[in-house]
Amino acid sequence: MTFSKFVFAPALIAAACLAGGTAMAAATVGQPAPAFSVTDTGGKTVNLADYKGKYVVMEWVNPGCPFVVKHYGAANMQATQKDATAKGAVWLTVSSTAPGAGDYKKPAELGKWMQQQGGAPTATLMDDDGKVGRAYGAKATPHTFVIDPQGKLIYAGAIDSKPTANPADIPAATNYVKTALAEAMAGKPVSTPTTQAYGCSVKYSS
């Protein structure tokens, strides 16, 4: 299917891909972010505790999702990653797609895809068993979270305010991650700490 079909069939996309209301425990804004230890696409073990004292952004990804294609194809996600890391934040992209799913990418494949996109995360994590995603209550790709230097979750939800797969909507959207980081780094409370995530349902292992 071409990308244009994703763009011009929003109702079909919504029906097929929007994250559903599956019951799942979720990390709570204002509470400590769930700890984790998982390997990245290069086989290195990454622990959330390694980044205490820094802001951490977590982004759930599935390269086959049209909502992910929207943000990477328009270089919006890459720009958001670079903006965050330039300010000293850590950016962790997470794949919780089950190995048995049709659009699963092995570590080397996902790492290559990220490189081809010009992505700039600090690390791309392989959460094959879904433990990290379930701990955070990640329901969609892209679902995003922001953690403060004390390890507290300060934002959870959508990347931006336009829940479509159309890249033309990006310029007029509010980028919630950029806003949350800017406010928190300025010593202000995050004005919109939670939003409804949108995108394709995370394909967890059963």
- Residue 21 scores a pLDDT above 60: no
- Report percent pLDDT > 90 for the chain: 86
Please give the pLDDT value at position 24. 53
* Residue 7 confidence class, pLDDT cut points 50, 70, 90: very low
Please give the pLDDT value at position 26. 75
This prediction has a pTM of 0.89
Place of tokens 């979720």: 26
Q: Which residues pair with 94 in a beta bridge?
A: 60, 125
Please give the pLDDT value at position 75. 98
Please give the pLDDT value at position 25. 61
Please give the pLDDT value at position 13. 38
Please measure the distance between the N-terminal and C-terminal CA atoms of the chain and give it in whole angstroms.
27
Which residue, 72, 130, 66, is CA-closest to 100?
Answer: 130
69 Ramachandran zone, left/alpha/beta (phi>0; psi -120 to 50) = alpha
Q: What is the pLDDT of residues 48-84, one digit of tens each?
A: 999 999 999 999 999 999 999 999 999 999 999 999 9
Q: What is the pLDDT of residues 136-167, one digit of tens each?
A: 999 999 999 999 999 999 999 999 999 999 99
Does residue 13 contact residue 66 with C-beta atoms inside 8 Å? yes
Q: What is the pLDDT of residues 127-136, one digit of tens each?
A: 999 999 999 9
Does residue 162 contact residue 173 with C-beta atoms inside 8 Å? yes
Structural domains of the chain sorted by starting position, each given as residue range(s) with its CATH number in brackets? 3-17+29-201 (3.40.30.10)
- Helices 66-73 + 10-17 axis angle, to 10: 120
Q: What is the pLDDT of residues 176-195, one digit of tens each?
A: 999 999 999 999 999 999 99
